Each structure stands twice: as structure tokens, then as C-alpha cells.
Structure 1
Amino acid sequence: MGNLLYIIAVVLVIFWLIGFLGFPDAVGGIIHVLLVLAVIAVLLRLIRGA
């Protein structure tokens, strides 16, 4: 399960970068929601000690 959280976090950060750099006006708040979800996934992985 820990590996899955890490993969999800990496994918979300990549999507955030694509949206932030490629479509700054079109996507807006959704990009920041993805970033927050990625940070939460990474924090959960760190807290669980994996």
C-alpha cells in the first residue's frame, strides 16, 4: 500500500507541474487541489514509516 501512495503522489505532482507550467489560466484551483493531495499522500507515507 505504501508503494501505491508514493506512485499516486508522484503522478499528482507531475500533473500539477504540467498544469502549472502548461495551462496556468485554464485549470486554476484544480491544480492546487492535486498538489495538496500529493503532499498528503507523501505525509501519510512518511508518518507510516515506510
Structure 2
Amino acid sequence: MIVLGVILLLVGFLAKISILWTIGIVLIVIGAVLALVGRSGRKVGGRAHWF
């Protein structure tokens, strides 16, 4: 999810499309939160690991 967010950030920045920029930021934040919660040992959404 973080990688997809970075890709959307780059595409949005290069193509000057603000909605892609915004979606990219949101995906990076959500991905970072899921990664932090997952590494803390807690299950996220009923799953112990996200692959």
C-alpha cells in the first residue's frame, strides 16, 4: 500500500493531477498505520500478517 501511494504521488506530481497526489498521501498514511500496528503483534482486520 505504501509503494502504491508513492507511485501515485509521483504520477500526480509529474502530471499535475491533484487528486492522485491526495490519494497517494492517504495511501501512504494508511499503509504506515497498518505496518506499525502489524509489527506491534496485534491482528489487523482478523489477520496476523498482510502479504
Instruction: Place the TM-score, normalised by the shorter chain, in its bin.
Output: 0.5 to 0.7
Q: Report % sequence identity.
A: 21
Give the TM-score of the pair, scaled to structure 1.
0.59
Q: Which of 1 and 2 has higher RCO (CA within 8 Å, sep 6+)? A: 1
Could you tell me the TM-score, scaled by structure 2's length? Answer: 0.58
Runs of 4+ in 1 over 4 A off after TM superposition: none
Mark the runs of 5 or more structure 2 residues left unpaired by the alignment: 43-47
Larger gyration radius, structure 1 or structure 2: 2
Gaps of 5+ in 1: 1-11
How many residue pairs get aligned? The number is: 39
CA RMSD of aligned residues (A): 1.8
Higher helix share: 1
